[in-house]
Amino acid sequence: MPKHNLVILIHGLHQAAFVMRPLAKRLQAQGFETHQFDYRSMRDSIKTNSARLNTWLESHHHPDEPIDLVGHSLGGLIIRDFIAHYPQWQIGRCITLGTPHLGSVSGDYIWRLLPAIVGKSYEQALDGTAPPLPKDIELGIIAGNKAQGLGQPILSYHNRKRRKADSNLKDKSLAHDGTVYVTETQLAGATDHLILPVTHTGMLMSKKVARQVVWFLEHGRFNHGTVKP
């Protein structure tokens, strides 16, 4: 039997499967078999894309063999939709990277101003209405708090509005990765939550993130510094 489950890597909005390659290579170096699932993030809805993941699995994977799922940003919401609607698959562990589980403030601004930029990824996904997490799923969440990225102007503007409305807001509640607030990455029922000093896109190239992904896949929790990775 293989040492690990097959790990399916799912990219985010405005991306393609190749952006998951650095993480895939680091996982492969640790003995994991990986597949970079590709999908059309703007043209198709989250339900269409999770259905296509199911179709790919039906053609390439045996249902008796567990799979692990790792999703970046919107990819994490596809994971939630997939596990809610295709329970026939054995899910080992799931990890989301910078996924706005509670909805995306930056996505909401863009949806109202220029909806074509987010396409069909907004409804039932970035709007915060993805299916809830089943009780038997082990989910690890990694969030970034390095505030650099394309969404930074939007979130900086939003933070100024929030501070004006409440001068007692703590900096911790305003932290984001340049696209997604740390608070937006939280989800009821998640197994573990970890914040790292990375940007929304930079986390895909980060060795620290890759090490934590491996740790969670192997141990069902992140390494919060108590054990040398």
Quick: pLDDT tens for 120-163. Answer: 888 889 999 999 999 999 999 999 999 998 888 899 889 898 88
pTM, rounded to two decimals: 0.93
Close Cβ partners of 57 (under 8 Å, ≥ 6 residues apart): 63, 67, 89
Name the residue range of residue 23's domain.
6-218
pLDDT (tens digit per residue) in 89-100: 999 999 999 999
Number of domains in the chain: 1
Q: Does a structural domain hold residue 139?
A: yes
In a domain, 228, yes or no: no
> Would you say residue 52 lies in a domain?
yes
Q: Is residue 111, in this structure, part of any structural domain at all?
A: yes
| CATH number of the structural domain spanning residue 45 | 3.40.50.1820
Q: What are phi and psi of 96, to 5 degrees?
A: -115, 140
The radius of gyration of the chain from alpha carbons, rounded to an integer in Å, stands at: 17
What's the confidence (pLDDT) of residue 219? 96
